[in-house]
């Protein structure tokens, strides 16, 4: 009998897939919240497979607390910065994630929605209208900006970055991109130009971030790099919160060094504006669009992710290599 523990309820298709397997004992946390480390260890002790979410920090202490029988950590996320890969490797524990075209499209669609919300001042205008301030058409009311002819700067050309470029091509924008590797096929397809980060920031009207969280990308957007951007530019983040130094972003927005920002992720999630000594708040700024880490929040996508996580666990417990094994 293999024991599997899921740290929080996920879409039912993934749970059902695991429960249909003979010899699988599946338990799901009844709490709709992030478990404290002690809770997680206590509830998952003795299991053969752990299915955590990106909000669960799985380090060596957690792994040891669960026990030596733990064979796989089937992360319910594309990213895996919440898992100590080195500790897992040392203990012979497999780690898997849930990439796929569904999540790529969902995150790309959300990114495009945020770009449009910034350009057309959608959130600000919606708030204005709901508060009964609208008195009639006016020539200078909520002037935004068009996307046609503007420059889109893509930082990180993985699957999501490419999909964003594909979707945004309908607006006939110029495309600059930066990645650790040059992609000549992408350049030909979208008439894009490969540049360094300083040049990208200097010339882009919309900067969209699609890099994984690593030591090299933490605070990639900071006071210095924000200072390279146009005063009319916007920065959009659907990657990981710490890629942007939140305090520096707030100061740049307040000083009008850039025009605005759209954030789906935050440096100290779920907190926003943590440790900001000047007491200014991103939440109070009309030039900022905020969403609660929902870029992949589509029924189809989240259900598929659940099934992928389940299949990774089934493969591992069957003595096979998980389809989405993370290489450490």
Report how far residue 3's alpha carbon sits from residue 51's, in angstroms, rounded to the nearest whole number: 11
Question: Is the distance from CB of 238 to CB of 295 less than 8 angstroms?
Answer: yes
Quick one: pLDDT band at residue 273, thresholds 50, 70, 90?
Answer: confident
Number of domains within the chain: 2
Q: Are residues 222 and 251 in the same domain?
A: yes
Q: What is the mean pLDDT of residues 217-234?
A: 98
pLDDT digits (tens, 9 = 90+) for 145-190: 999 999 999 999 999 999 999 999 999 999 999 999 999 999 999 9
Q: Are residues 246 and 214 in the same domain?
A: yes
Confidence at residue 279, expressed as pLDDT on a 0 to 100 scale: 60
Active-site pick, 9, 218, 219, 293: 293
Q: Is residue 65 part of a domain?
A: yes
Q: Is residue 126 part of a domain?
A: yes
Q: Are residues 106 and 239 in the same domain?
A: yes
Q: Are residues 144 and 73 in the same domain?
A: no
Q: Are residues 110 and 256 in the same domain?
A: yes
Report how far residue 323's alpha carbon sits from residue 210's, in angstroms, rounded to the nearest whole number: 23
pLDDT digits (tens, 9 = 90+) for 52-96: 999 999 999 999 999 999 999 999 998 898 999 999 999 999 999
Active-site pick, 39, 109, 199, 269: 269
Quick one: pLDDT band at residue 247, thresholds 50, 70, 90?
Answer: very high
Q: Is residue 325 part of a domain?
A: no
* Residue of 265, 254, 260, 171 lying closest to 209 (CA atoms): 265
Q: Are residues 126 and 244 in the same domain?
A: yes
Angle of the 299-317 helix axis to the 101-120 helix axis, nearest 10: 150
Q: Is residue 305 part of a domain?
A: yes
Question: Domain limits at 187?
Answer: 101-290
Containing H/E element for 160? helix 159-168
Q: Is residue 286 part of a domain?
A: yes
Query: Which residues does residue 289 pair with via DSSP β-bridges, in sequence order?
Result: 262
Q: Are residues 213 and 258 in the same domain?
A: yes
Q: Are residues 57 and 149 in the same domain?
A: no
Q: Is residue 72 part of a domain?
A: yes
Confidence at residue 44, expressed as pLDDT on a 0 to 100 scale: 98
Active-site residue 31, yes or no? no
Confidence at residue 274, expressed as pLDDT on a 0 to 100 scale: 62
At 241 the three-state DSSP class reads: helix
Q: Is residue 130 part of a domain?
A: yes
| Sign of CA pseudo-dihedral 109, 112, 113, 114 | positive
Confidence at residue 277, expressed as pLDDT on a 0 to 100 scale: 55
Active-site pick, 240, 245, 246, 267: 240
pLDDT digits (tens, 9 = 90+) for 287-313: 999 999 999 999 999 999 999 999 999
CATH of the domain at 173: 3.40.50.720
Q: Are residues 193 and 228 in the same domain?
A: yes
Q: Are residues 75 and 125 in the same domain?
A: no
Q: Is residue 326 part of a domain?
A: no
pTM of the model: 0.89
Quick one: pLDDT band at residue 275, thresholds 50, 70, 90?
Answer: low
**Strand 206-209 relative to strand 234-237, pairing:** parallel
pLDDT digits (tens, 9 = 90+) for 180-203: 999 999 999 999 999 999 999 999
Conformation bin of residue 121: beta by default, left when phi > 0, alpha when psi is -120 to 50: left
Q: What is the mean pLDDT of residues 136-152?
A: 96
Which regions of the chain does DSSP assign to beta strands (E)?
A: 2-6, 24-28, 49-51, 72-74, 94-96, 151-155, 174-178, 193-194, 206-209, 234-237, 260-263, 288-290
């Amino acid at each position: 009998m293999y024991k599997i523990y899921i740290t929080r309820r996920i879409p039912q298709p993934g749970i059902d897939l695991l429960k249909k397997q003979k010899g699988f004992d599946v338990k799901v946390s009844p709490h709709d919240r992030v478990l404290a480390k002690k809770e997680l260890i206590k509830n998952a002790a003795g299991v053969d497979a752990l299915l955590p979410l990106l909000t669960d920090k799985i380090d060596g202490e957690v792994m040891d607390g669960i026990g030596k029988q733990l064979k796989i950590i089937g992360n319910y996320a594309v990213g895996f910065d919440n898992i100590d890969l080195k500790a897992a490797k040392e203990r012979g524990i497999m780690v898997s994630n849930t990439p796929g075209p569904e999540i790529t499209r969902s995150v790309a669609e959300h990114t495009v929605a945020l770009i449009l919300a910034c350009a057309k001042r959608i959130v600000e205008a919606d708030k204005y209208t709901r508060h009964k301030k609208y008195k009639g058409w006016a020539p200078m009311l909520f002037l935004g900006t068009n996307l046609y002819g503007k420059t889109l700067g893509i930082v990180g050309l993985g699957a999501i970055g490419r999909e964003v470029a594909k979707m945004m091509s309908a607006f006939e924008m110029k495309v600059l991109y930066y990645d650790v590797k040059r992609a000549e096929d992408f350049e030909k397809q979208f008439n894009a130009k490969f540049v360094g980060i300083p040049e990208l920031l200097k010339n882009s009207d919309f900067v969209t971030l699609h890099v994984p969280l690593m030591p090299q990308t933490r605070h990639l957007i900071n006071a210095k790099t924000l200072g390279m951007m146009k005063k009319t530019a916007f920065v959009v983040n659907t990657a990981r919160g710490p890629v942007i130094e939140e305090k520096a972003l707030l100061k740049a927005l307040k000083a009008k060094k850039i025009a605005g920002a759209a954030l789906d992720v935050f440096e100290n999630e779920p907190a926003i504006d943590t440790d900001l000594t000047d007491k200014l708040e991103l939440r109070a700024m009309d030039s900022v669009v905020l969403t609660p880490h929902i870029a992949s929040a589509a029924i189809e996508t989240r259900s598929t992710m659940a099934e992928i996580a389940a299949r990774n666990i089934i493969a591992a417990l069957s003595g096979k290599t998980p389809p989405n094994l993370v290489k450490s």
